[in-house]
Amino acid sequence: MRGGAILNLVDIIDIRDYTSSMTVQPGFAVLLCLTGSIKVSAGGVTTEIGAIPTSGGETAQGIFSRFTRTERISRTTGGRGLRCVEILLPPDWFENAGLDGLAHDLLHTHLMHERWPLTPRQIRLAEQMLRPPQCADALRDLYLESHAGEALAEMLRILCDVPRTERKPLLKLRDRQRMGVVKALLDTDEGKKLPLPRIAALHGTNVNALQRQFQSAFGVTVFQYIREQRLASAREALEEAGVSVAQAAHIAGYASPASFATAFRNRFGRPPKEMRGNT
C-alpha cells in the first residue's frame, strides 16, 4: 500500500493453540476482526483482541492501537477460526495524509488502543478484502488498497464522533501491571474459585474498580474472562482426557449440558461431542 502501509489478510483455522513472536516497529495497527480472537502480549500485559463472543455467536470488533517505540510482542491463537484484516501504518502516515494531530488526539501513549463494534459497512469491506475478485495483480492491489482506505476512513469517522468524555480512560502503568497480576491469578485453578470481592481486596481495590480496570486492560470483564478460561479447560479435558460432555459441562461451571454445548459451539465453532477424544 502507498505511504508505507502494510495490509495483512488472515483467514485460517488453527487446529491447536499456536504462539508466534514478532517485533513491531513504531506506528499504528488497525485490526478488523470478523470471527475469532488472539491473545497479544506486549509490555508485560496480555490482552485478548478480536470478535466478542455473545449468546448469539460473535460480534465483529475493530481495534486501533499505537506503538510509540519498537516492541516485541507474542500472539496466541485459540485453536479456532480467525478471520480478520490487519492494516499497519507507519508513524508519519497520518501527517502525510493531511491528518496531522488526529492520531495523537485519539491515541497519545504507547500501547494505548481504542475498540469499537464494526459497522455493517466495515464488515462488508473486510469480507470483500478477504475474498477479492479474480483479476490481474495490479488491479487486485488497487482493489484492496481502496477498500482498506475506505475502512480506515470509516474508523476515523466513528472514533472522532465519540466525545472525549465518553472514551474509556487510559489505565495508568501501575493499574495495567496490577490487572496483569489479577489475570495471572485468574489463570490458576485457585483464582477461578475466588469471589470477586476477595480478588479485589487482595489487590487493594474494590469490585467496581476491578471490573472497570480489567475490562479496560483486556476488553472483557472478570466474569467473561473466567467463563472463557473454564470453557478452554473443558475443551482441553474433552480433547486430552476424553471426558463426557456432561463432565466437561461441570468443569466449565454449567449445570445444563445443553447450555454448555451451546456456549461451547459459540466459542469454538464446533459442538463439544466433536472435540471429544481428538488429539
Is residue 128 domain-shared with residue 66, that is, in the same domain? yes
Look at residue 230 in the predicted model and tell me its pLDDT. Answer: 83
Is residue 237 domain-shared with residue 151, that is, in the same domain? no
Work out the mean pLDDT of the chain and round it to a whole number: 80
Is residue 127 domain-shared with residue 25, that is, in the same domain? yes
Is residue 57 domain-shared with residue 131, that is, in the same domain? yes
| Dihedral, CA of residue 162, residue 165, residue 166 and residue 170, to nearest 10 | 100
Q: Any idea which residue has 472497570 for its cell? A: 212
Task: Please calculate the CA angle 229-232-234 and round it to the nearest 5 degrees.
Answer: 110
Is residue 86 domain-shared with residue 153, that is, in the same domain? yes
Is residue 67 domain-shared with residue 49, that is, in the same domain? yes
Pairing state between β 27-35 and 61-67: antiparallel
Residue 37 scores a pLDDT above 70: yes
Residue 124 scores a pLDDT above 80: yes
Does residue 73 or residue 219 have the better pLDDT?
Answer: 73
Residue 246 scores a pLDDT above 90: yes
Work out the number of other CB atoms within 10 angstroms of the CB of residue 274. Answer: 13
Look at residue 166 in the predicted model and tell me its pLDDT. Answer: 46
Residues whose CB falls within 8 Å of the CB of residue 177, separated by 6 or more in sequence, listed in order: 44, 45
Task: Give the per-residue SS3 of 2-20.
Answer: HHHCEEEEEEEECCCCEEE
Look at residue 171 in the predicted model and tell me its pLDDT. Answer: 62
CATH code for position 115:
2.60.120
- Reported as a single tens digit per residue, the pLDDT across 62-105 is 888 878 778 778 777 766 678 889 999 888 887 787 776 666 66
Q: What is the C-alpha separation between 249 and 247, in angstroms, rounded? A: 5
Q: What is the C-alpha separation between 38 and 12, in angstroms, rounded? A: 12
Q: What is the C-alpha separation between 220 and 54, in angstroms, rounded? A: 12
Residue 221 scores a pLDDT above 70: yes
Is residue 154 domain-shared with residue 184, that is, in the same domain? no
Where in the sequence is the domain holding 267, given as residue range(s)?
224-275
Is residue 44 domain-shared with residue 129, that is, in the same domain? yes
Is residue 118 domain-shared with residue 191, that is, in the same domain? no
Is residue 150 domain-shared with residue 181, that is, in the same domain? no
Looking at the 3D structure of the chain, how many domains does it have?
Answer: 3
CATH code for position 267:
1.10.10.60
Q: 65-86: buried (b, 16+ CB within 10 Å) or exposed (e) per residue?
A: bbbeeeeebeebbbbbbbbbbb
Is residue 210 domain-shared with residue 236, that is, in the same domain? no
Is residue 210 domain-shared with residue 245, that is, in the same domain? no
The C-alpha cell at 227 is 467463563
The C-alpha cell at 222 is 472478570
Q: What is the C-alpha separation between 16 and 176, in angstroms, rounded? A: 29
